[in-house]
Amino acid sequence: MTQSVSAAIAAALLTGEPRDKVMQVRALARAWRKGTLAWDWAVPMPDRPAVPPGLQLLPPGQMPRRRKGGSEATRVALWHSLAHIEFMAIDLALDAAGRFGEAQGPDFVSDFLAVAADEAMHWSLIARKLRTLDSHYAALPAHDGLWEAADATKGDVAARLAVVPMVLEARGLDVTPAARDRIRASGDEGGARILQRILDDEIRHVAVGAKHFAQVAQRRGESYENYWEMLVRQHFHGTLKPPFNDSARQAAGLPRRVYVALA
């Protein structure tokens, strides 16, 4: 019996063991590309995805402060936080495809399953890096703020696109170059290459969100810029902090005039 796309996505979301999830996401994306998944949306998405065994999730305000400097513990904490971001990014992309795909259509599903596969690859690169530091994902606590944003926008695809790719992931475009440069300056060229690969891919991921947001806004008869600003003010409780990586944001389809009013 052919597996449905909704069942396959829900199963991946409910897989908490990281390497199992990565393999499942790769198989899911491959099956979708080959057209072997049934267009059936009977299986609902879980309220939240499974987490890795032993991972302690904390509210963002309770996370221990990461010390600056070049100590081994500081490096482990940095790569662990990046591993968590990428792991949650897998689930955010899967949830977008599974929660909104039926209404938004095959192009939307294709785009977000491809994003999920990229994020799984990013996680694998970082997990390998952690192993070189004699650590692993779930060795340290991680914050739960990313899924809070997903939960807050689960009722509206426009809100999800406005907040997750166009605010949270776009923030990665701003902060990743400085992290890459610090890592390179410390002599870790391999680590710098990992962050450069992530940055290159994230530009494309933000562009996916911006593209589909523009399509939703057009269908609803809304102004792209005004609608985005309204949804961000309504659903995002943080702040947009400069400096911005204007060139990367422009490449992702986010011109400066769109986000500078909220800074």
- Across the range 196-209, mean pLDDT stands at 98
pLDDT value of position 59: 80
Q: What domains, with CATH codes, occur in the chain?
A: 5-40+66-262 (1.10.620)
Nearest CA to 97 among 182, 36, 29?
A: 29
pLDDT value of position 245: 96
> Please, what sign has the CA dihedral across residues 57, 194, 172, 11?
negative
Nearest CA to 119 among 29, 59, 39, 193?
A: 29
What number of CA atoms fall less than 13 Å from residue 183's CA on the CB side?
21
Does residue 72 surpass a pLDDT of 90? Answer: no
- pTM of the complete model: 0.95
Does residue 30 surpass a pLDDT of 90? Answer: yes
Does residue 70 surpass a pLDDT of 70? Answer: no
* pLDDT band at 66; cut points 50, 70, 90: low
pLDDT, mean over the chain: 94
pLDDT value of position 192: 98
Q: What is the pLDDT of residues 88-142, one digit of tens each?
A: 999 999 999 999 999 999 999 999 999 999 999 999 999 999 999 999 999 999 9
Does residue 188 surpass a pLDDT of 90? Answer: yes
Q: 57 — phi, psi (to 5°)?
A: -100, 130
- Across the range 234-259, mean pLDDT stands at 91
